[in-house]
Amino acid sequence: MNIKSTKTWIIIFAAVLIICTAAFLLLKHSGVQGTTAVIRVNGEVYEKIDLNAVAVAYDMEISTEFGYNKLHIEHDGISVIDADCRDHICMSQGKVSKAGVPIVCLPHKLTVEIEGGDIDA
């Protein structure tokens, strides 16, 4: 292989790497900020919360036949801060604020999803 051919491949590789990095960053930060939190227990809507209307953060306790969860609601998202399930995966998922990123507590059959925003399908 000659030097000219090697330089060409290095330039092509660098260009592809830059394009892939830019695409990843754009996709990662392109999530749509949601406006409504939908809380479901056993597939049924338990409550809908308009996050734009939340002026002061507050906590909500959900006690059902499946278990106990405590949610922290803010104007920019919602999180599970306490639960009596064994694994506490729902608590480790952190705060969600973008549409399409749910919080799930399987033992308690609880899901928290953000809806709203303009999503083009």
Which residue type is seen at 94?
A: G
- Whether the pLDDT of residue 40 is over 90: the answer is yes
Question: Do 25 and 66 share a structural domain?
Answer: no
Question: Do 106 and 49 share a structural domain?
Answer: yes
Question: Do 108 and 50 share a structural domain?
Answer: yes
Long-range pairs, 98-107, Cβ under 8 A, ≥24: 98/31, 98/32, 98/33, 98/34, 99/31, 99/32, 99/33, 99/34, 100/31, 100/32, 101/31, 103/78, 103/79, 105/67, 105/69, 105/80, 107/66, 107/67
| Residue 43 counted as domain residue | yes
Show the domain range for 97: 36-115
Q: What is the number of structural domains in the chain? A: 2
pLDDT score, position 34: 66
Question: Do 103 and 61 share a structural domain?
Answer: yes
Residue-wise pLDDT tens digits, 82-121: 999 999 999 999 999 888 889 999 999 999 999 876 544 4
- Whether the pLDDT of residue 71 is over 90: the answer is yes
pLDDT score, position 121: 44
Residue-wise pLDDT tens digits, 21-36: 888 777 666 555 668 8
Q: Is 96 helix (H, G, I), strand (E, B) or coil?
A: strand
For residue 45, what pLDDT band results from cuts at 50, 70 and 90? very high
**CATH no. for residue 42?**
2.60.320.10
pLDDT score, position 120: 45
What is the mean predicted confidence (pLDDT) over 59-78? 94
